[in-house]
């Protein structure tokens, strides 16, 4: 599959699987006595093809056939039936990759056969399902369900690379982190997701803007943090209080998001509005002019109380009642927004650590 932005799919399953393709690793081999660079590259190619096969035919893994639907602005619990479909797709994919991972990690290789005992699978909360073999056959691999074990039959060098990949996964897979197999599913021998930033930039036609943002953040001593699971990721550039965040969420129609990590200090900024940088003032006003940021008495800021925390300000002869829960996430990003958010983060370091004196 060519990595490009897609906004509509034939099914929910395709929407989810597209995300796996989006985060699929760039090939980077590691030194190994048992798995050559060529065999690592072959495995990398095959696991990429496997994702394409699942995308083209989700029924290979018995994934939901529901027509494409996603969340707009709703919380997941507002559409519980839709969320159940997403969870079933997540579960189906994670169980398949967990079976592969546990088999490779604990299995024994003899010639062209990788064998994993059923008690070992059970102990690690993994299991083999017969329909997995249909998918394996698509890439010339065979799984045989024997009495006490599962045998995965493939070329020895391919199996050695699969074991190497499993040994490079840096996380402990457990019931509380069912989607932590991104490194394995994306065939990343180096566990390095640094390529995601340029990929997001390219897919969103930002022409290098995110790489400029990264460079400027490093110059200002921001820390880059990448959190990635099989079904979403976040790339953040963090200063002492806040910072930028770039996210991907398959459950949202607007899959990509760009913005700031938090709203710490914003209420204090609005209370001291007249002393803010002019560009930062304009940033708040621009948000209001788009119909957001104004107080609509939703009471979210009260946290169960009665006092509304909206701040009344005056700017250029006009009066606004500004909500301290203004938007901090956008569907795209441009140079002007980046400049405004840099000033916003600078203000957070001032207003987020000190209280205004009465």
| pLDDT tens profile 48-83 | 999 999 999 999 999 999 999 999 878 888 899 999
pLDDT band at residue 318 under the 50/70/90 scheme: confident
Mean pLDDT of 272-283: 91
pLDDT per residue over 168-214, tens digit each?
Answer: 987 655 554 656 789 999 999 998 999 999 999 999 999 999 999 99
Pull the structure tokens for residue 2. 């060519």
Number of neighbours of residue 234 by Cβ within 10 angstroms? 17
3-class DSSP state of 318: strand
Pick the range with the lowest mean pLDDT from 118-122, 262-266, 325-329: 325-329
Distance between CA atoms of residues 327 and 192, nearest Å: 31
| Alpha helices by DSSP H, 118-221 | 118-123, 132-138, 156-168, 182-185, 196-203, 209-219
pLDDT, residue 298, reads 57
Q: Contact at 8 Å (CB) between 8 and 67?
A: no
Q: Contact at 8 Å (CB) between 264 and 241?
A: yes
Mean pLDDT of 322-342: 86
Please name which of 149, 138, 164 lies closest in space to residue 113, comparing C-alpha atoms: 149
Number of neighbours of residue 329 by Cβ within 10 angstroms? 11
Query: What is the Cα 212 distance to its own chain's centre?
Result: 21
Burial class (CB in 10 A: 0-12, 13-18, 19+), 306: exposed
């Amino acid at each position: 599959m060519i990595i490009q932005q897609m906004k509509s799919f034939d099914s929910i399953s395709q929407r989810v699987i597209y995300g796996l393709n989006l985060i699929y690793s760039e090939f980077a081999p590691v030194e190994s006595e048992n798995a050559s660079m060529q065999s690592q590259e072959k495995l990398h190619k095959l696991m990429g093809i496997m994702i394409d096969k699942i995308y083209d035919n989700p029924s290979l893994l018995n994934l939901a056939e529901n027509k494409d639907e996603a969340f707009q602005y709703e919380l997941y619990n507002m559409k519980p039936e839709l969320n159940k479909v997403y969870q079933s797709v997540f579960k189906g994919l994670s169980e398949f990759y967990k079976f592969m991972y546990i088999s490779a990690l604990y299995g024994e290789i003899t010639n062209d056969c990788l064998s994993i005992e059923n008690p070992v699978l059970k102990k690690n909360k993994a299991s083999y399902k017969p329909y997995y073999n249909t998918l394996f056959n698509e890439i010339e691999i065979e799984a045989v369900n024997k009495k006490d074990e599962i045998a995965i039959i493939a070329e020895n060098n391919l199996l050695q690379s699969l074991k190497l990949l499993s040994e490079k996964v840096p996380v402990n897979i457990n019931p509380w982190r069912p989607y932590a197999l991104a490194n394995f599913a994306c065939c990343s021998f180096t566990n390095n997701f640094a390529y995601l930033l340029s990929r997001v930039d390219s897919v969103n036609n930002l022409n290098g803007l995110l790489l400029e943002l990264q460079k400027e953040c490093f110059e200002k001593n921001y820390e880059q943090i990448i959190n990635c699971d099989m079904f979403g990721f976040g790339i953040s550039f963090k200063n002492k209080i806040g910072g930028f965040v770039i996210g991907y969420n398959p459950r949202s129609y607007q899959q990509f998001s760009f913005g700031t990590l938090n709203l710490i200090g914003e209420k204090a900024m609005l209370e001291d509005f007249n002393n803010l940088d002019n560009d930062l003032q304009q940033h708040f006003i621009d948000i209001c002019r788009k119909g957001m940021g104004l107080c609509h008495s939703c009471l979210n800021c009260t946290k169960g109380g009665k006092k509304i925390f909206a701040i009344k300000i005056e700017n250029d002869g006009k009066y606004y009642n500004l909500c301290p829960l203004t938007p901090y996430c956008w569907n795209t990003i441009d140079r002007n927004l980046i400049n405004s958010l840099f000033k916003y983060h600078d203000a957070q370091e001032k207003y987020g650590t000190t209280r205004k004196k009465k």
